[in-house]
Chain A
Amino acid sequence: MSTPDPYAGERLKLSPFHPRQQALNIRDAWTSWNGYKFAEHYYEAEYEYFCVRNLCATYDISPMQKYQIQGPDAQTLLNRMVTRDVAKVGLNRVAYCVWCTDAGRVIDDGTIFRLAADRFLLTCGSPCTAWLERSAYGFAEVEVKDLSDALAALSLQGPTACAVLKKLGLDGIDAVKPFDIRHFSLHGTALMVSRTGFTGDLGYELWIEPDRALELWDALYAAGAHYGIHPYGETATNMARLEAGFIMPGMEFNEALKTVHFEHDQTPFELNLGWLVDFNKPHFSGRRALLEEKRRGPKYTLTKLDVEGNRPAEGGSRIYGNKRCTKAVGYVTSAMWSPAAKANIALAMIRTEHRQGALWAEIYYEKELRQYSRVAKCTPLRKPFWAPPRARATPPPDY
């Protein structure tokens, strides 16, 4: 009899795709996500980032939280919970959403898939069972089921993504529009494909039962062999999503239910997501607070910045309204040098009333152990740093 592993309770879980990912993670660069062993990178972060922008690459989204919400009250429940009007989400369509506390502070963001009139899939970064149950109070005819471990998912992103899926034999994939869902069969198993992603580029997400995950992986990698397919990890994802201007929990927003300090969480308006808030639909959590916020304007506004020079304004750089750095007006949430846009980009929370004025970032950096700082001028941008036409084109180009 073998000795039971005394550390079993602390060990990381393995994704259904793990055996293949392990073989390709040649530098053993692992981190974790929701208790799963998760690649920080496989070979090199920048290399993988360029696979996303130049070829195509896969990202394991199995550790994401997935909930099935089913029943006659499913739509009402979701509509009561999220700020967007779920009634407007058509069959086999996906909608990006946020949900808030009664104070209008963002709990999390995620996507809602309408799979039937009375059946939805909700995906999000952090576990959300408790909030879903609270939101379900008073709705008798709805069942919430956690599918997190029961559904494997792989994101395929990059300019050759559609060509690879065509090669995989998914007929009609090129007619799938952004945020569409299409159901296919892969060797007799149901394969759901949504044209969604977190990179701002052409891309799809593939959903399959965990037992068939490796079969999907092998078929996909065989189809992608001539299209440069490669896995990418957390670092490359973070680069791509920042170029696309997408927000991350723990970076741009602090999940409201985990926030200790007053207003250290954010509202959708502060996150520049006012377009997700629909006051014309029935009541939803946070409605009253958000109406008030809309009237008086958000305290902070998430702003895309083009930063002078090429030192990324990392590490929570402060933003000032003057070059002498005496008037603090905000802080940087994420920053990087963008290889694709060839720009020094940042997302920053800026006091709304100072957004129109001059903005300066105080950037700290190290050079061979010595510490330096510089003050760089920032220019607010309206559009994402990276938004290639192929991301919206239907049919998309082959590369």
Chain B
Amino acid sequence: MSRYDAIVIGAGHNGLTNAAYLAKAGLKVVVLEKNDYIGGAAVSRELHEGWTYSNCSYVCSMMRQAIHRDLNLSRHGLILVPYLGTINFGQGDERLLAYHDEEAAHLELKRHSPRDADAMQRLQADLTRYSQLIRKTLLRTPPDPASFRLRDLGELLFLAKQFGALGEREIYEYVRFFTMSAAEFLDDYFENDLVKASMATPGIIGTALGVYSPGSAYILLHHVMGDVDGNIGAWGLARGGMGAISKAIAGALAENGGEIRTESPVQRVLVQNRRVVGVVLDNGDEVRARVVVSNLDAKHTFTRILDRRDLPEGIYEKARHFKIRGSSGKVNIALSGLPKFAGVPDNPHLNRGGQAFIGSMETLERAYDCWKRGRWSDEPFVESVIPSAWDPTVAPPGKHWMSNFVQYCPPTLADGPWTPEKRERFGRTVVDRVAQYSPGFKDLIVHMEVRTPHDIEQEIGLTEGNIFQGELTLDQLFFNRPFPGHGQYRMPLRNLYLCGSSTHPGGGVSAACGANAAREILRDLRRPNTVPDDDFHDE
């Protein structure tokens, strides 16, 4: 039996970040990972010879720069490269090219609607303003509004000040924003359907909501509030794939003396006298520690690796009803060449960005309707990137790797569970969708990996394959994340903590959840804090 100061369950990027900060404070830390590789959903593996797939998360924008800098992740091999524009595919020949250059983008929008081109500037200013407030909360522990502890009051005061600085009108707008649908929010700006739809898609990614569902406006914001080197709203690729983020954090962890054990699935968390004392592995080994930190989602943690009898009243129920619906699929494709898209100029700057296969607002909503009925749409929303157009390390020269994120895909189907045959049909639907805009696309396919929510759950452990470890709706955000009254990373069993994106600030490969949890753990263990303050580019 080995003894540690801290056990972290799960070597996802948040688990690794948490462990790195605990190790930096001098604690003896071990990360236990069930798979034979690390990274959780920030992972890159060679799944076809010569091709490295980031088969879960695929782009990066929320990664806290302060953590990157503080843990010296560049020295551990991490370089984040911003990628340029997106091609939005509408109905038929309709294309909206999101050029990287502001003036070019404006002229392109004007082609669709002069009014919308102007309104885009107002939208960007408004979104930046909203983002700036939320960004300030990312690397902070949410205050408990009911505790009246000095620290919580101080934190509430900080928030009040930030709110106050926005001006009175914005306070009303903010409250509206959190409860609105993406469609309603955008109606105030745009008339053109494709413009609206292309701006609405971030509101449904990873979410069991439609563009017309209340709450999707916030999801939209969640996806545009990140930055690359201070450019808010920009998205980047990690050189070497998303796994490079996890590898770099693991490097920082090793540098601070932390340990990672792969192929070590935790079977059960050990509880004695209402205190967590360690874990039992599948192979029967016991590992003991002063604290146990779960990087697994809240539902998985409380319903699968904790014994219900060990839990205080009500927690099991809260966990069971934690909203973590699976809604997304992923099709990873190795290509023998760069696909060409109909109606798109052969501009390498455009073709090195992303593709959004949208259709219209109605197509998006209909795809959601299918999900509700336990099937996938024939015209799903597909968000694609071809990282190999930017990253020479993920595919052989001249060959390409394409990540296709699919919204929506049900966790279980109306006609019974997922089968390999159904999965293949789902994959074919996605390929057809892309091929609709790219004749000849199918001829380029060398290898393909189709992932349904079911596959993601089986492999990564995310309940229902929910990419955010729990939906990002107001009832599950901030001090209510994962459960009301437990928003500060401490769980209702002593010495048990959560550090995954089931906690504030939620999903998106920010590393903030893991870092925030480390700050709280170090506080409880009376160790000096090693977690840096965030860096706001003097916003």
| B495 → chain A closest CB, angstroms | 34
Chain A positions within 8 Å of B397 at CB level: 163, 167, 226-227
List CB contacts (< 8 Å) of A118-167 with chain B: 159-160, 163, 167
Q: Interface 1/0s, chain A 322-341, versus B by CB < 8 A?
A: 00000000000000010111
Chain A positions within 8 Å of B79 at CB level: 53-54, 340
Does the CB pair B230–A337 fall under 8 Å? yes
Stretch at the interface among A14-22, A39-47, A293-301: A39-47
What CA separation (Å) do A50 and B230 show in the bound complex?
15
Does the CB pair A228–B390 fall under 8 Å? yes
What CA separation (Å) do A309 and B70 show in the bound complex?
12
| B152 → chain A closest CB, angstroms | 27
Does the CB pair A227–B229 fall under 8 Å? no
Does the CB pair A27–B101 fall under 8 Å? yes
| A347 → chain B closest CB, angstroms | 19
Residue of B nearest to A44 (CB): B100
The yes or no answer to A342 lying at the interface (CB within 8 A) is yes
What CA separation (Å) do A43 and B82 show in the bound complex?
14
What CA separation (Å) do A399 and B393 show in the bound complex?
7
The yes or no answer to B154 lying at the interface (CB within 8 A) is no
The yes or no answer to B349 lying at the interface (CB within 8 A) is yes
Could you jot down 12 A-B contacts, CB within 8 Å? A46-B82, A47-B84, A47-B100, A54-B239, A160-B392, A163-B392, A310-B65, A342-B74, A365-B538, A372-B538, A398-B392, A399-B393
Residue of B nearest to A306 (CB): B69
Does the CB pair B82–A50 fall under 8 Å? yes
Chain B positions within 8 Å of A46 at CB level: 82, 229
List CB contacts (< 8 Å) of A228-244 with chain B: 228
Size category of the B interface is: 20 to 34
Query: Of B74, B100, B349, which is within 8 A of A341 by CB?
Result: B74
Query: Of A44, A309, A342, which is within 8 A of B73 by CB?
Result: A342
The yes or no answer to A311 lying at the interface (CB within 8 A) is yes
What CA separation (Å) do A227 and B229 show in the bound complex?
24
What CA separation (Å) do A53 and B239 show in the bound complex?
10
The yes or no answer to B111 lying at the interface (CB within 8 A) is no
Does the CB pair B392–A55 fall under 8 Å? yes
Query: Of B74, B101, B392, B393, which is within 8 A of A340 by CB?
Result: B74
Does the CB pair B393–A342 fall under 8 Å? no
List CB contacts (< 8 Å) of B214-271 with chain A: 228-230, 239
Of A43, A50, A225, A311, chain B has the most CB atoms within 10 Å of the CB of: A50
Chain A positions within 8 Å of B230 at CB level: 310, 337
The yes or no answer to B126 lying at the interface (CB within 8 A) is no
List CB contacts (< 8 Å) of B72-101 with chain A: 73-74, 79-82, 84, 100-101
Chain B positions within 8 Å of A367 at CB level: 538
Count residues of A near B (Cβ-Cβ below 8 Å): 32
Does the CB pair A342–B65 fall under 8 Å? yes
Chain A positions within 8 Å of B80 at CB level: 339
Does the CB pair A43–B349 fall under 8 Å? yes
Chain B positions within 8 Å of A50 at CB level: 81-82
Query: Of A44, A55, A337, which is within 8 A of B229 by CB?
Result: A337
| B193 → chain A closest CB, angstroms | 30
Query: Of B73, B81, B538, which is within 8 A of A54 by CB?
Result: B81
List CB contacts (< 8 Å) of A359-378 with chain B: 365, 367, 372, 374
Chain B positions within 8 Å of A176 at CB level: none
Does the CB pair A310–B537 fall under 8 Å? yes
| B335 → chain A closest CB, angstroms | 13
Does the CB pair B101–A343 fall under 8 Å? no
What CA separation (Å) do A309 and B397 show in the bound complex?
39
Chain A positions within 8 Å of B100 at CB level: 44, 47
Chain B positions within 8 Å of A43 at CB level: 349
List CB contacts (< 8 Å) of A45-69 with chain B: 46-47, 50, 53-55
Chain B positions within 8 Å of A337 at CB level: 229-230
| A374 → chain B closest CB, angstroms | 7
Known A227-B397, A342-B65; judge A159-B392 contact (CB<8 A): yes
Chain B positions within 8 Å of A398 at CB level: 392
Chain B positions within 8 Å of A339 at CB level: 80, 228-229
| B64 → chain A closest CB, angstroms | 11
Does the CB pair B349–A54 fall under 8 Å? no
Chain A positions within 8 Å of B349 at CB level: 43, 47
| B185 → chain A closest CB, angstroms | 24
Does the CB pair A311–B74 fall under 8 Å? no
Does the CB pair A226–B73 fall under 8 Å? no
| A392 → chain B closest CB, angstroms | 16
Residue of A nearest to B538 (CB): A311
List CB contacts (< 8 Å) of B188-213 with chain A: none
The yes or no answer to B391 lying at the interface (CB within 8 A) is yes
Residue of B nearest to A54 (CB): B81
Residue of A nearest to B337 (CB): A226
List CB contacts (< 8 Å) of B99-158 with chain A: 100-101
What CA separation (Å) do A309 and B65 show in the bound complex?
11
Chain B positions within 8 Å of A372 at CB level: 538
Known A27-B101, A374-B538; judge A399-B392 contact (CB<8 A): yes
Known A54-B391, A342-B68, A372-B538; judge A226-B82 contact (CB<8 A): no
Query: Of B69, B228, B538, which is within 8 A of A343 by CB?
Result: B69
Q: Interface 1/0s, chain B 332-358, versus A by CB < 8 A?
A: 000000000000000001000000000
Does the CB pair A226–B101 fall under 8 Å? no
Known A54-B239, A342-B69; judge A228-B392 contact (CB<8 A): yes
The yes or no answer to B535 lying at the interface (CB within 8 A) is yes
| A222 → chain B closest CB, angstroms | 12
Does the CB pair A310–B538 fall under 8 Å? yes
Q: Interface 1/0s, chain A 385-399, versus B by CB < 8 A?
A: 000000000000011
Chain A positions within 8 Å of B398 at CB level: 225-226
Chain B positions within 8 Å of A225 at CB level: 398
If A54-B391, A226-B398, A310-B230 are given as contacts, then 7 extra A-B residue pairs at C-beta distance below 8 Å, sorted by A number, are A44-B100, A46-B229, A50-B81, A54-B79, A55-B392, A337-B229, A399-B392
What CA separation (Å) do A317 and B69 show in the bound complex?
23
| B67 → chain A closest CB, angstroms | 10
Chain A positions within 8 Å of B82 at CB level: 46-47, 50
| A44 → chain B closest CB, angstroms | 7
Chain B positions within 8 Å of A27 at CB level: 101
Chain B positions within 8 Å of A47 at CB level: 82, 84, 100, 349
Q: Interface 1/0s, chain A 7-28, versus B by CB < 8 A?
A: 0000000000000000000010
What CA separation (Å) do A372 and B100 show in the bound complex?
29
List of 8 A-B pairs having minimum Cβ-Cβ separation, nearest first = A399-B392, A226-B398, A226-B397, A342-B69, A339-B229, A342-B68, A50-B81, A54-B81
Does the CB pair A227–B538 fall under 8 Å? no
Chain A positions within 8 Å of B229 at CB level: 46, 337, 339
Chain B positions within 8 Å of A53 at CB level: 79, 81
What CA separation (Å) do A365 and B230 show in the bound complex?
15
